[in-house]
Structure 1
Amino acid sequence: MRQRQHERGRSWKKTPQNGDSKDRWMITYADLITLLLIFFVIMYGMSRLDVEKYEQVTQSLQHTFSSGNSIMSGGSGILDGSQGLNSGKDPSAPDTGSAGSADKAGQKNPDDSDDSKPLSERELAFRKQEEELQDLMARIEDYVKDNQLQDQIHVSDLPKGISITLSDRFLFDTGKADLKEGSAKTMAKLASLFKQLDTVISIEGHTDNQPIVRVSKFKDNWELSGARALSVLRFFLDKEKLDPQHFQYAGYADTRPAADNTTADGRQKNRRVEITVLRQLQQ
């Protein structure tokens, strides 16, 4: 009896196996391979294009664009009619347009008041000044033409203002900064036109790159260009009694050439005085 119980007890006892602990890594490895397989299957499924849905979307877009009125022909584009914001409007009703748009070809909505917006005082002042500058340029050009001074005086409309370029042969003797008597008439004419303006007038003296001769009282071209600009300024202030607050002057020597200094004709063009009526309002 005891022997049977002992044998029964031995039959329930599990005999350990040496191979179980060594092969457990295969379970983890198999799980990893399974997860990788699932991952690639999902990626492949997401990369497949649903042809039927693609065709439905394409047809829907084509229908939407083809059913809208053209903006170029007065319509409101793809949002017109039943496709957009006006879906609640009766299609048979006449199109009266929308606020801020043109009611008819060539006619604007009366409610659109952009063009009727009053200009500010500064904008009006700029417009007035521009009209004055254009009138000034026309009058100087007529004066130059009537007196046949095309070779001595040149007028141009630049972004910074109306530029009046006077040749040194018209204003000065060689190496000197005193105005010639023959230039007084033209300078007085310019002064009479400047009196009507409320802006800044810049006077700039320029020379060529040739050094100053010994007989000149000026040390270099810087002194000569500055003295010539100052002589023109003095004429306007002392003889014509113009307001000094409207003027500024400078001498630039040969640093701002208008032509090539290697030729005699180019050097002649560089010896000049530029009077520029600036596009700026006085405070």
Structure 2
Amino acid sequence: MSEQRRPIIIRRKKVVRSHHGGAWKIALADFMTALMALFLVLWILSSSSREELEAVAEYFRTPLTTAIAGGDRTTSSDSAIPGGGPDPAHAEGERARIELRDQSRPTVEPERLRQRAEERRRLRELQRRIEAAIQAHPELRLLRDQMHLDLTQEGLRIQLVDSERRPMFELGSDRVAPYMRELLRTIAPLLNELPNRLSISGHTDSVPYAGGYRGYSNWELSGDRANASRRELVAGGLEADRLLRVAGLADRVPMEDTEPDDAMNRRISLVVLDEWSAEQILSQGQVADTGEAATRASGDAP
């Protein structure tokens, strides 16, 4: 009897195809939203005036804690989280600094930011005019490497630095070199174009006089050179009442990345002060807080 054939069984694995869920649609939607936001920002930037752009830039340069709580933006932290712990200047760290901030400087308002941005724009424009005037003068063009113009927290700073080959003053003297005199008298009329007040400071290198600081020293020399520069600016047409401060700082403020005895530290620093910096200098002549003064007068405070 022939063997009975076994049936052939074919097993097929059933594949269940589930729906993909549409995750790619979410990613595409996010991408399209970001792209639309980018185009919107580009359109706003292209249609905004220069003053509006300056105001926006100033807003984003202001630390978050300063914009929210007010205070001095030059000393506030960039972090939105107040720090704690002991602080050499404030007993309770940054939180105390925010709480005990100087009430004389109010919270930065949008209008204040706009005015500050406009003032910075005018200072930058003055910087360009000064650079153009120097470049157009054949003799003064040779001094361009000894001029450093930049915007600082105080305003537009114009630094006139010495070099071993071309000093601005005679060695150890406040006698102005002829090209330094021509330079100061050239920029003097340009400084009258803005209502901002001016500050002049003289600086020296660290090489001391033979007598040290007991007699005529770097302190006197730096002050005399600052005053000599002031006289040349006034002779060049600068309105004398624009000057707010003339000081000699000796060798106490060397330039960054220089040795103390470097010739570049022998310099004159002229600052076109912004409104806030001028107010700070003028406030030095104001009477102290009346409440604190009364407390000290009564003997309750040391």
The TM-score, its normalising length taken from structure 2, stands at 0.49
Cα distance, 1:238–1:244 mapped onto 2, change above 3 Å: farther
Any conservation in 1 of the 2:218–2:251 contact (CA below 8 Å)? yes
Matched, 1:165 2:155: no
3-state DSSP of counterpart to 2:159: strand
Any conservation in 2 of the 1:200–1:246 contact (CA below 8 Å)? yes
Q: How does 1:1-283 map to 2 (within 5 A)?
A: 72-74=30-32, 106=39, 122-145=112-135, 146=137, 147=139, 148-150=141-143, 153-160=146-153, 161-168=155-162, 169-213=166-210, 219-237=216-234, 240-258=237-255, 259-261=258-260, 266=262, 268-280=263-275
Unaligned runs of 5+ in 1: 1-61, 77-101, 109-114
Cα distance, 1:151–1:67 mapped onto 2, change above 3 Å: closer
Any conservation in 2 of the 1:207–1:272 contact (CA below 8 Å)? yes
The CA RMSD measured in Å over matched residues stands at 4.0
Deviation of the 1:239 alpha carbon = 5.7
Rg comparison, structure with higher value: 1
Cα distance, 1:241–1:274 mapped onto 2, change above 3 Å: closer
Any conservation in 2 of the 1:141–1:155 contact (CA below 8 Å)? no
Any conservation in 1 of the 2:169–2:177 contact (CA below 8 Å)? yes
Residue identity over aligned pairs, in percent, reads: 26
CA distance in 2, matches of 1:171, 1:105: 51
Any conservation in 2 of the 1:162–1:278 contact (CA below 8 Å)? yes
Any conservation in 2 of the 1:203–1:248 contact (CA below 8 Å)? yes
Structure 2 counterpart of 1:44: none
Structure 2 counterpart of 1:16: none
3-state DSSP of counterpart to 2:149: strand
3-state DSSP of counterpart to 2:142: coil
Deviation of the 1:63 alpha carbon = 7.4
Cα distance, 1:69–1:203 mapped onto 2, change above 3 Å: same
CA distance in 2, matches of 1:71, 1:201: 56
CA distance in 2, matches of 1:144, 1:69: 56
Unaligned runs of 5+ in 2: 1-19, 42-47, 56-109, 280-302
Structure 1 counterpart of 2:106: none
Aligned length: 186
Deviation of the 1:165 alpha carbon = 1.8
Cα distance, 1:152–1:237 mapped onto 2, change above 3 Å: same
3-state DSSP of counterpart to 1:150: helix
CA distance in 2, matches of 1:152, 1:74: 50
Deviation of the 1:245 alpha carbon = 4.5
Deviation of the 1:230 alpha carbon = 1.8
Any conservation in 2 of the 1:163–1:274 contact (CA below 8 Å)? yes
Deviation of the 1:224 alpha carbon = 0.7
After superposition, the C-alpha distances for 1:98-119 in whole angstroms (9 at most, x for unaligned) are: xxxx7x98459xxxxxx89x98
CA distance in 2, matches of 1:105, 1:260: 47
Any conservation in 2 of the 1:206–1:253 contact (CA below 8 Å)? yes
The TM-score, its normalising length taken from structure 1, stands at 0.51
